[in-house]
Amino acid sequence: MQAIAVRPIAGALGAEIEGVDLAQPLAAPVAAAIRAALLEHLVIFFRGQKLTPQQQLAFARSFGEPMEYPQLKGLPECPLITPVVKLEHERMNFGGVWHSDTAYLERPPMGSMLYALEVPPQGGDTLFANQYLAYESLSAGLQRTLEGLVGVNTSTKAAASKTREDRMRAAGEELKVLSGEHPVVRTHPETGRKALYVNVGHTAAFKGWSEAESRPLLEYLFAHQVQPEFTCRFRWQRGSLAFWDNRCTQHNPVNDYHGFRRVMHRVTLAGDAPR
């Protein structure tokens, strides 16, 4: 068995994994160790990798079933790999708000893998936030209130949809109007822990509430769930790969590198309906 090292990068979540070449087939014990690290640390990072799209996809299949991203087409030669690109002249970055991926789907993804092909000389980090801690740090009274609520999530909420417009326009794509209703507090199907499951990018209201009625509580939750003590920050290098658990994290790609190109390849792994 390959000897891998798992090194936490922050108190809340996140760990770098050393000692594995993702371009090679994973032995079952190594895949199990990586999955255990993901469940413990919520987002894991690998450095110095050299991956073709097919190799990235093969690695992803060790942990789930890759699915197409609903808003953009994948690479022509590998449709399950979605390019995530910001060009030198563009001001908006893709997905540049706090969010969990595609919460507007009936079955949101269990996780995503992002691989860095080109990075700016500085900037372009990604922040991650632990939604177990976000839920567990709420008062018992607010926890009881949230347990019975359902969030209405939409692909057209302005905070997130505007970050996709440039890339979709360049690709000749139109924004698909999609919506999904999910528990505000979801139980992780593998760990059994409860996580806060609303996000500023997609959650528009609580089911049965108007948007005006929902706004004060949602705004409180949006601010609460990304407090610094719940987060980690990852500095990308060429050849870095991040793998996050979409069921209990949020992420936010920082848009601070205008004038530089950033090119990533993403694989999205299918998930189940939140409960």
Q: Domain range spanning residue 173? A: 5-269
208 is a domain residue: yes
For residue 264, what are its two tokens?
A: 């990533």
3-class DSSP assignment, residue 175: coil
Let me know: does 158 contact 187? Beta carbons within 8 Å.
no
16 is a domain residue: yes
Tally of CB atoms within 10 A around 111: 23
For residue 101, what are its two tokens?
A: 């991926």
156 is a domain residue: yes
46 is a domain residue: yes
82 is a domain residue: yes
Into how many domains does the chain fold?
A: 1
61 is a domain residue: yes
Instruction: Using alpha carbons, select from 89, 73, 98 the residue that is nearest to residue 201.
Output: 98
3-class DSSP assignment, residue 145: helix
Amino acid letter for position 225: Q
For the segment 107-148, what is each residue's pLDDT rounded down to a tens digit? 999 999 999 999 999 999 999 999 999 999 999 999 999 999
118 is a domain residue: yes
For residue 85, what are its two tokens?
A: 């690109």
pLDDT tens for the chain, 275 residues: list them.
468 999 999 999 999 999 999 999 999 999 999 999 999 999 999 999 999 999 999 999 999 999 998 878 899 999 999 999 999 999 999 889 999 999 999 999 999 999 999 999 999 999 999 999 999 999 999 999 999 999 999 998 865 555 555 555 555 566 678 999 999 999 999 999 999 999 999 999 999 999 999 999 999 999 999 999 999 999 999 999 999 999 999 999 999 999 999 999 999 999 999 99
Angle at 16 between CA 198 and CA 248, to 5 degrees: 15
User: pTM for the whole thing?
Assistant: 0.94
Let me know: does 141 contact 217? Beta carbons within 8 Å.
no
Question: Mind telling me the catalytic residues?
Answer: 99, 101, 251, 266
With a CB cutoff of 8 Å and minimum separation 6, the contacts of 227 are: 134
Q: Please state, in angstroms and rounded to a whole number, the distance separating the CA atoms of residues 122 and 77.
A: 31
Let me know: does 238 contact 48? Beta carbons within 8 Å.
no
CATH number of the domain at 176, please.
3.60.130.10
274 is a domain residue: no
